[in-house]
Amino acid sequence: MKKNVSAGKTREFPKGFLWGSATASYQVEGGIDNTDWADAARKKKVPVTGRACDHYNSFEKDFDIAKSLLQNAHRFSIEWARIEPEEGKFNDTEIEHYRKVIRALKARGLEPFVTLWHFTLPIWFRDMGGFENKKAPEIFGKYCAYVVEKLGNEANFWMTMNEPMVWLGNGYLRGGWPPFKREVVKYWKALKILMKSHRFAYIEMKKKAPTIQIGIAKQNMDFSSGGGWWNDVRMNFCRKFWNYKFLKGIKECQDFIGVNYYRHIAFGMLENLPLTDMGWTIYPKGLTNVLLELKEYKKPLYITENGIADESDKQRGKFIKDHLMAVYEAIQKGADVRGFFYWSLLDNYEWAEGFTKRFGLVQVNYDTMERIVRPSALLYKKICETNIIE
């Protein structure tokens, strides 16, 4: 029988590559009631988080699992409303909590990647207009600088914010997330203020901890066109606007780029691709494209999120492997990719979808809080262990 050469090929990742998984505070911690999302849940506009995965209390056990899966990095977020429950009043007990979180990671050999704002706003900040308020950059910058002043010597990698374009789109155009608006003018205003907020925070954080690496987690999509001028226009506009507007706006203020990849959008093409439980098409090649497009920034790239909602766990293993093949290909073509974080370590609160979508390498039973490692997590473990995909 003829040997299938490509099937047997081993692909080795660069030495020191970071292999991890990611979470975000509001989605896993539980017990957060002073954010815009918690308030919206009380008004029955979005699902309730409640105890979530109780990760606030069980982070050590959860990191034991990440360690047992031979991961060497972990991305998590700090809840702004815990640290600054009232404007200018900082809660050092919560700072100490997150210090324990970071130390628990390092004690297990997991490199911490810390996000300072992952979608949820303290209620007081929301009430003053959130990122529509011209003072937002200063307020946000102070919060970021405060955390870094206290914890900057504990971790090397920091992200000021997660997916600003997704947050803006859902909150200001589609009206499905807080602040539930559909107002283009306010969208633009908040977009500009968000870019300024990052730049301001970057400068303030560097003053407190000059050696830390700072970026954002940016969700980029792969856009393609089936041909014809209108489809080409749409593809080019989306690529330019969705993928690059924000990154260009903060160009001088980023030491690395965190890339979140989930979606591929094809204009004017009928594609027969498999779907995730979110109804999103699965298109690994899009990740290669997205990474190669980012080469022009000449910054280290970390895939800070990539994952699949797949309750049955039938697609997840192949999904991970295929996306890592795509990462490997981008590296071969010169993309400086240094790490990969699967979204998510645990099943969690999927925003407007509540707990119905399951992204976890680890299944969570929300009644008992029991964790069960899914088979796909073991496949990923093997890759983390060997630094190779076969």
Least distance from ligand BGC to the Cβ atom of residue 155, Å: 19
Q: For ligand BGC, which is the closer residue by CB, 160 or 225?
A: 160
Residue 247 as a binder of ligand BGC (CB under 6 A): the answer is no
Site for ligand BGC in 251-270 (CB under 6 A): 260
Options 7-15, 159-167, 181-189, 223-231: segment touching ligand BGC (CB under 6 A): 159-167
Q: Give yes or no for a contact between 253 and 205, defined as CB atoms under 8 angstroms apart.
A: no
Indicate the helix (H) or strand (E) that contains 80: helix 80-83
- Asked if residue 28 lies in contact with residue 79, where contact means CB atoms within 8 angstroms, the answer is no
Residue among 36 and 305 whose Cβ is closer to ligand BGC: 305
> What is the distance between the alpha carbons of residues 119 and 117, in angstroms, rounded to a whole number?
6
Q: Can you tell me which of 36, 79, 347, 350 binds ligand BGC, judged by CB under 6 A?
A: 350
- Any contact of residue 24 with ligand BGC (CB under 6 A)? yes
> Quick check: 23 binds ligand BGC (CB under 6 A)?
no
Tell me the C-alpha distance between 117 and 166, whole Å.
13
For residue 65, give every residue at least 6 positions away whose Cβ sits within 8 Å of its Cβ, in sequence order, or none: 345, 362, 371, 373
Instruction: State which residue, 146 or 342, has the beta carbon closest to ligand BGC.
Output: 342
Report the residue from 58, 72, 219, 225 that binds ligand BGC according to the rule CB under 6 A.
Answer: 219
Closer to ligand BGC by Cβ: residue 49 or 260: 260
308 binds ligand BGC (CB under 6 A): no
Q: How many residues does the chain have?
A: 390
Shortest gap between Cβ of 112 and ligand BGC (angstroms)? 17
Is the preceding omega at residue 179 within 30 degrees of 0, hence cis?
yes
Q: What is the secondary structure of 351-373 as a DSSP string? A: GGGTT-----SEEE-TTT--EEE
| Closest residue by Cα to residue 289 from 351, 357, 239 | 239
Structure tokens at 216: 């954002």
Reading the block at residue 163, the tokens are: 């997916």
Among 172, 200, 343, 380, binds ligand BGC (CB under 6 A): 343
Residue 287 touching ligand BGC (CB under 6 A): no
Residues that bind ligand BGC in the complex, under the rule CB under 6 A: 24, 27, 162-163, 166, 219, 260, 305, 343, 350
